[in-house]
C-alpha cells in the first residue's frame, strides 16, 4: 500500500508540474491549486421558525452565498445536504425545492449536491434529483486534478433507501455496494481525494453514519484522502483521525439575520494542505497534511 505521505508527495509533484525538490507549506495568501465553495443545511421551508431554525430566511442566506461565490469564482460549489426541510405533502415539498433550485442555479459555476435526510423526508431520491442537478445518490467527479467523492448515507441499516418518512434519522448507513464503489474509486484516483458527506463520518455518535468506521478504514487504506467535509450536526466541528481531516460545517438555517449565515471557500493547495476561508459564522481553518 502506498503511504499517504508518499502519495501526497508524488501527487504534489504531478499536480504542480515540478520535477523535484522540497515543497514548502502553502502560505495563507498563496494561490491554491483549486478553490471550492461549500455550504450546508439550509433547510428551506415556507413555514414559521422553530426554536433556532429560521426556515424562510434560507433564501436570503443562499442568495448572499451565491453572490459571494460568483464574485470569488471557485471552480465549483457543493451543498452538503438538507437543502430543504420536510413538508407535509409531496406537492409542497417539490414547490419548495423548485424555489431553492431557482436561487441556487444563479451560480456561475458547476454545482453539486449531497443528499441529506431532510432532502428525502417527503420525497424520493429520484424526485429530488428530477428537480435539481443532483445525481440522486453517491457520485464522483474530478476538478483540477482532485477527485471528489460524494457519499450517500441516506439508507437504513437493512439497506432500504430513505423515502417518505420510512426512516429514523439516526439510522444512517453506507450500504455494502456503495462501500465497494468507494473502494474502487479510491483505488482509481490518480490524485488527491476530497470526500463530501452529510451525516458525519467522524466519532460523533448522535449524528454519525452507523458504519463510519468501515468508511474511515477505506479512506485511510487508500492513502489519498486529504479531508472529509460534512454537515448534519449544525455546528462548526473538527477532528483529525489517523491523518485525515474531518471538518463539520455550520448550518445556514440556524439563527435569524444575515449575521447568522455561514459558508466557506475551501482552498486546496499543491502540497496537500487545506484552508477554509469562512464567512459569517463559519470558522476559518488551516489544515496541514499529516
Domains of the chain from N-terminus onward? 4-14+33-287 (3.60.21.10)
User: Which tens digits make up the pLDDT trace of 20-43?
Assistant: 222 233 344 469 999 999 999 999
The count of residues in the chain is: 290
Model confidence at 19: pLDDT above 50: no
Q: What is the pTM of this model?
A: 0.91
Run of H or E residues at 190: none
Nearest to 157 by CA among 209, 219, 97: 209
Owner of C-alpha cell 470558522: 283
Supply the pLDDT for residue 290. 73
Q: How far apart are CA 127 and CA 132, in angstroms?
A: 9
Annotate 238-280 with DSSP letters as a single string: EEEETTEEEEEPPPSSBSSSGGG-EEEEEEE-TTS-EEEEEEE
Q: What's the whole-number average pLDDT of the chain?
A: 91
Model confidence at 157: pLDDT above 90: yes
Amino acid at each position: 500500500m502506498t503511504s499517504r505521505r508518499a502519495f501526497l508527495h508524488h501527487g504534489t509533484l504531478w499536480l504542480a508540474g515540478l520535477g523535484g525538490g522540497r515543497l514548502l507549506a502553502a502560505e495563507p495568501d498563496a494561490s491554491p491549486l483549486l478553490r471550492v465553495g461549500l455550504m450546508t443545511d439550509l433547510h428551506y421551508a415556507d413555514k414559521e421558525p422553530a426554536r433556532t431554525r429560521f426556515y424562510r430566511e434560507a433564501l436570503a442566506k443562499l442568495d448572499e452565498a451565491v453572490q459571494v461565490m460568483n464574485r470569488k469564482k471557485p471552480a465549483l460549489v457543493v451543498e452538503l445536504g438538507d437543502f430543504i426541510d420536510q413538508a407535509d405533502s409531496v406537492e409542497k415539498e417539490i414547490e419548495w425545492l423548485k424555489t431553492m433550485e431557482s436561487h441556487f442555479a444563479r451560480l456561475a459555476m458547476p454545482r453539486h449536491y449531497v443528499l441529506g435526510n431532510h432532502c428525502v423526508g417527503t420525497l424520493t431520491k429520484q424526485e429530488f434529483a428530477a428537480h435539481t442537478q443532483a445525481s440522486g445518490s453517491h457520485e464522483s467527479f474530478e476538478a483540477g486534478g482532485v477527485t471528489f467523492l460524494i457519499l450517500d448515507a441516506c439508507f437504513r441499516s437493512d439497506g432500504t433507501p430513505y423515502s417518505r418518512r420510512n426512516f429514523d434519522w439516526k439510522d444512517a448507513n453506507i450500504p455494502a455496494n456503495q462501500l465497494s464503489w468507494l473502494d474502487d474509486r479510491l483505488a482509481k484516483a490518480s490524485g488527491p481525494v476530497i470526500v463530501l458527506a452529510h451525516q458525519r463520518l467522524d466519532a460523533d455518535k448522535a449524528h454519525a453514519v452507523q458504519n463510519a468506521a468501515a468508511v474511515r478504514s477505506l479512506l485511510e487504506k487508500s492513502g489519498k484522502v486529504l479531508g472529509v467535509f460534512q454537515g448534519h450536526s449544525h455546528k462548526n466541528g473538527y477532528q483529525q483521525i489517523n491523518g485525515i481531516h474531518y471538518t463539520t460545517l455550520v448550518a445556514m438555517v440556524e439563527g435569524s439575520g444575515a449575521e447568522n449565515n455561514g459558508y466557506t471557500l475551501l482552498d486546496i493547495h499543491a502540497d496537500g494542505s487545506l484552508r477554509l476561508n469562512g464567512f459569517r459564522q463559519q470558522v476559518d481553518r488551516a489544515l496541514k497534511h499529516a
